[in-house]
Amino acid sequence: MSNPIISVKDLTKTYKQTEAVKAINFEVEEGEIFGFLGPNGAGKSTTINMICTMLKPTSGSITINGYDVKKDKDKVRASIGIIFQENTLDEKLTANENLMLHCRFYKVPKDKRQERIREVLEIVDLVEVSKQRVETFSGGMKRRLEIARGLLHYPKVLFLDEPTVGLDPQTRSHLWEYILKLKKKEGITMFLTTHYLDEAEISDRVAIMDQGDIIAIDSPTALKDQLGGDMIELSTEDNDQALREIDEKVSGAEVSVEGDTIHLKVESSDAFISSFIKTLEIPITRLNIRKPTLNDVFLAFTGRKIGDAKE
Ligand SMILES: Nc1ncnc2c1ncn2[C@@H]1O[C@H](COP(=O)(O)OP(=O)(O)OP(=O)(O)O)[C@@H](O)[C@H]1O
Residue 113 shares a structural domain with residue 235: no
Query: pLDDT tens, 149-171?
Result: 988 888 999 999 888 887 888 88
Give residue 183's pLDDT band: very low, low, confident or very high (50, 70, 90): confident
Q: Where would I find the H helices in 160-293?
A: 169-186, 197-200, 220-227, 239-249, 269-279
Q: Can you give the pLDDT at residue 220?
A: 94
Atom of ligand 1 nearest to the CA of 193: 25
Closest residue by Cα to atom 12, ligand 1, is 20
Q: Residue 112 region, left (φ>0) first, then alpha (ψ -120 to 50), else beta?
A: alpha
Residue 108 shares a structural domain with residue 175: yes
Of 162, 186, 219, the residue that ends a domain is 219
Residue 240 shares a structural domain with residue 134: no
Please give the residue range of the domain that contains residue 239: 229-291
DSSP letter assigned to residue 160: E
Q: Is residue 191 part of a domain?
A: yes
Query: pLDDT tens, 19-38?
Result: 999 999 999 999 999 999 98
Q: What is the mean pLDDT of the chain?
A: 90
Query: pLDDT tens, 225-253?
Result: 888 889 999 999 999 999 999 999 999 89
pLDDT higher than threshold 50 for residue 311: no
Ligand 1 center from residue 56 Cα (angstroms): 14
Overall domain count for the chain: 2
Q: Can you give the pLDDT at residue 308?
A: 57
Ligand 1 center from residue 306 Cα (angstroms): 16
Residue 135 shares a structural domain with residue 12: yes
Residue 93 shares a structural domain with residue 160: yes
Atom of ligand 1 nearest to the CA of 38: 21
Q: Can you give the pLDDT at residue 106?
A: 83
**199: Cβ contacts below 8 Å, ≥ 6 apart:** 164, 172, 176
Residue 61 shares a structural domain with residue 125: yes
Q: Is residue 309 part of a domain?
A: no
Q: Could you give the percent of the chain with pLDDT greater than 90?
A: 60
Cβ(38) to ligand 1 under 6 A? yes
Closest residue by Cα to atom 5, ligand 1, is 15
Residue 84 shares a structural domain with residue 128: yes
Whose CA is closest to 285, among 256, 250, 242?
A: 242
Cβ(39) to ligand 1 under 6 A? no
pTM for the predicted model, two decimal places: 0.83
